[in-house]
Structure 1
Amino acid sequence: MNLNDTPAGERLHIGFFGCRNAGKSSLINAIAAQDVAVVSPEKGTTTDPVTKAMELLPLGPVLLIDTPGFDDTGALGDLRVKRTRRILNKTDIAVLVLDDILGITSADQELLKIFREKNIPYLIVRNKCDDGTSSAASCPETDLCVSAVKRRGIEALKEKLGQLIPQEKPRSFVRDLLLPQDLVLLITPMDKAAPKGRLILPQQQAIRDILEANALALVCQETEITAALHRLKKAPDLVICDSQIFQKAAAAIPETVPLTSFSILMARYKGFLAAAVDGVASLTRLADGDTVLISEGCTHHRQCNDIGTVKIPHWLTEYTQKKLRFETSSGQTFPENLQKYRLIVHCGGCMLNPREMLYRMKCAKDQDVPMTNYGILIAHLHGILHRSLTLFPHLIAKLKA
């Protein structure tokens, strides 16, 4: 996978914020060296977030996000500001763009407050310094003076952004669980929702991690599990399967072989696994009339037997024997008010960056709404949750507590 193919969930999100007509769009165009966003002297030209994927060293693959002005007014303006606030939930690095003539406004001050509250590394840039100097009074927080129109200070801005690498704990999908020469069997049904000729992202990540661990990967469909095992001289060291065929895989794979799912590994990769294990315990408290939110981080064409809208509601109803209500959300849409829900079931979040996933977890926790994920829920409903967590003894201890 080259940098241009890096999915949005694996890119650092750099959001450009500020008032209308501060030059956010012009600045992104200057950084990208192409016309990504529409530019106009009219206020409020940017009405929806605009994104540009590119490589920005030393950060690597990034996603630049142009946002509507934070000082927008009126009914439509309020909706645009709301969308900008939503972008803040997934922003890894923020750039506050000021109009050099106006300086810092009350809207800019509010943005700075949000950056600090959300612990987002940020940079303040005064745009429209067309003569190379700032006409506004000096500000101790101002980092750079640039001119997007004249392409002045853009390289310095890129260098400054490169110094704002968010401090993250190293993340691994599966390679930290493997030894060199370990054999991993990957059971990967052909997902009808995936683009033709491609594996879905968690499957791609698993294969890449296995290779980086100097381990061995054997890939088959669920119809070839027995054939794959017969061809091997010894049992695999680990089996990873799609959550939807957990039950079939568990029946075919010897109990002595660790078995987990792509969804469970993705939840771990996004920092969501422990919370998902806690959340699944709430199934015993569901009652008639309770509403369950099923949320996915991507949007795709719904198949007739879609997992989120068909299979999980069916399995949950069958397991609980309750008359439950189900609602769904997908893509960037996630309800701010979660009080109506008694459980949230989230996908693995492969298309969401870690900050967005952690934000959704925090929303649920702050409103005291249990939240689990597809892989954990399906394993629990099929009675194999303990087995699917054998790689993580501390989580099994949590289940027994």
Structure 2
Amino acid sequence: MNHTPNSNRLHIAVFGRRNSGKSSLINALTGQDTSLVSATPGTTTDPVAKAMEVYPLGPCLFIDTPGFDDEGELGRMRVERTRKMMEKTDIALLLFEDDGTPERQWMELLREHDIPVVLIVNKKDVRQDVDSLALRIEEKYGQVPVVVSAGEKSGMQGIFDAILAKLPEDFAERTITGNRVGEGDVVLLVMPQDIQAPKGRLILPQVQTIRELLDKKCIVVSCTTDRLSDSLQALARPPRLIITDSQAFPIVYRQKPAESSLTSFSVLFAAYKGDIEAFAEGASTIALLTPQSRVLIAEACTHAPLTEDIGTVKIPRLLRKRIGEELQIDFVSGNDFPHDLSRYDLIIHCGACMFNRKYVLSRIAQARAQHIPITNYGMAIAYLTGILDKIVW
């Protein structure tokens, strides 16, 4: 579990005022000195994350955030980072100093983001009014808060129980390949080992897909694009499914057996991490682009640009070949994503293997709210190569 990617962990963020005990609570929950604790207000200036395994929740990522009542210019910047963290939060722990306005406002924000919230009253070891405060919170929000002492590390099991009760029903049920394959099915993975492939390693989507297929008791065969024909001839029967790198779609589609379904790692992750119907609809709007249109390409990873990078080179090349060299294309990476998307006619997002599902869905929701179509790398390439209706997604 220590090697589970953060993107596949349940993201649990702690929100509250400065000195409400957020950092102490994180340390108590994780059993480690994950966050710096001090009596000085505003000690936590940036979100701090700690990955751990919590039975029976599984792999989790606990996130400590700056106080949402921070002040001054730097304070406002810290509050904005706290606000941004909601986009990645699966479950929120909200600490109440009292039942006043700040907590009410953040409760409303969390609900607007459809984030389940566990209400917490901390410092029961030093406060005399914890019971009356808990009662007022229950009456106001219709939810019984968990009363704890982070300093004494008491009441933590109550928080874990509350998190389990708030866990999204489908959190652990979603899989990369869904019901497309089952035990005994032959699955062929076509994985070009080009400049984008890390030397001596496979990229994360390939590793995760292989592991899932092995867990499903599938027969997994891997090859590079140039050995596709030989690999197909070596098989006793056509593969049930062929999963390829999206950029190899045209080559693989021309050679695939009629009995075999075809998809790509990026398309699979579009459904696994995001909203496949929204991405398919977004891909179809490529037909509406003109040379005067503007496209945003968003990459989750922050790596140095490569000579034949799929996001900054190959997709722009395909777009401009179809639409015109005048097409305007902007690029963002990592957590950078414009709040105002109105200037764009289309957003093309990567497979987002480095983001959790909540974060991807928040970007889709942001685009929808501003009526901007959004798709992903694999869906866009499938459309641009004329095979979107011939692949499974």
Q: Same fold judged by TM-score > 0.5?
A: yes
Structure 1, residues 207-234: CA drift from partner, whole Å, max 9, x if none?
2232233221101111211221121122
Aligned to 2:379: 376
2:16 to 15, 18, 25: 18
Counterpart CA distance in 2 for 1:14 and 1:168 is 16
2:96 to 95, 98, 102: 98
Structure 1, residues 245-270: CA drift from partner, whole Å, max 9, x if none?
11221222234422111111111112
Aligned to 1:29: 27
Identity of matched residues, %: 43
Taking a change above 3 Å as real, the CA distance of residues 191 and 363 of structure 1, as seen in their structure-2 partners, is farther
- Gaps of at least 5 residues in structure 1 are 393-401
Moved more, 86-95 or 206-215: 206-215
Checking the alignment, whether the CA contact within 8 Å between 2:297 and 2:311 is kept in structure 1 is yes
Aligned-residue offset at 1:203: 1.3
Aligned to 1:145: 147
Aligned to 2:157: 155
Aligned to 1:129: 124
> Quick check: 1:177 aligned with 2:172?
no
SS at match of 1:176: coil
Moved more, 172-181 or 349-358: 172-181
Aligned to 1:308: 311
2:110 to 107, 115, 121: 115
Aligned-residue offset at 1:202: 1.9
Aligned to 2:67: 69
Counterpart CA distance in 1 for 2:36 and 2:194 is 37
> Quick check: 1:356 aligned with 2:363?
no
Structure 1, residues 263-302: CA drift from partner, whole Å, max 9, x if none?
1111111242111111112222222332211012232232
Counterpart CA distance in 2 for 1:16 and 1:191 is 42
> Quick check: 1:287 aligned with 2:290?
yes
Count of residues in Structure 1 that have an aligned counterpart in Structure 2: 385
User: What TM-score, normalized by structure 1, do the two folds share?
Assistant: 0.90
Letter of the structure 2 residue corresponding to residue 40 of structure 1? S
Moved more, 196-205 or 70-79: 196-205
Counterpart CA distance in 2 for 1:276 and 1:147 is 45
Letter of the structure 2 residue corresponding to residue 74 of structure 1? G
Aligned-residue offset at 1:192: 4.6
Aligned to 1:188: 191
SS at match of 1:383: coil
Counterpart CA distance in 2 for 1:321 and 1:330 is 24
Aligned to 1:82: 80
Aligned-residue offset at 1:55: 0.8
SS at match of 2:84: helix
Structure 1, residues 146-197: CA drift from partner, whole Å, max 9, x if none?
2222222223322332322122273221151113321111011236555554
Aligned to 2:36: 38
Letter of the structure 1 residue corresponding to residue 284 of structure 2? A
Counterpart CA distance in 2 for 1:191 and 1:150 is 54
- Gaps of at least 5 residues in structure 2 are none
Structure 1, residues 319-375: CA drift from partner, whole Å, max 9, x if none?
112511111122222222110111100111222222211111111111111111100
Counterpart CA distance in 2 for 1:159 and 1:193 is 43
Counterpart CA distance in 1 for 2:198 and 2:3 is 14
SS at match of 2:105: helix
Aligned to 1:237: 240
How much is the aligned-residue C-alpha RMSD, in angstroms? 1.9
Checking the alignment, whether the CA contact within 8 Å between 1:188 and 1:219 is kept in structure 2 is yes
Checking the alignment, whether the CA contact within 8 Å between 1:56 and 1:162 is kept in structure 2 is no
User: What TM-score, normalized by structure 2, do the two folds share?
Assistant: 0.92
Moved more, 298-307 or 55-64: 298-307
Structure 1, residues 83-134: CA drift from partner, whole Å, max 9, x if none?
11111122111101133xxx13321111111222222211111222225864
Letter of the structure 2 residue corresponding to residue 158 of structure 1? F
SS at match of 2:166: coil
Counterpart CA distance in 2 for 1:38 and 1:182 is 51
Moved more, 153-162 or 209-218: 153-162
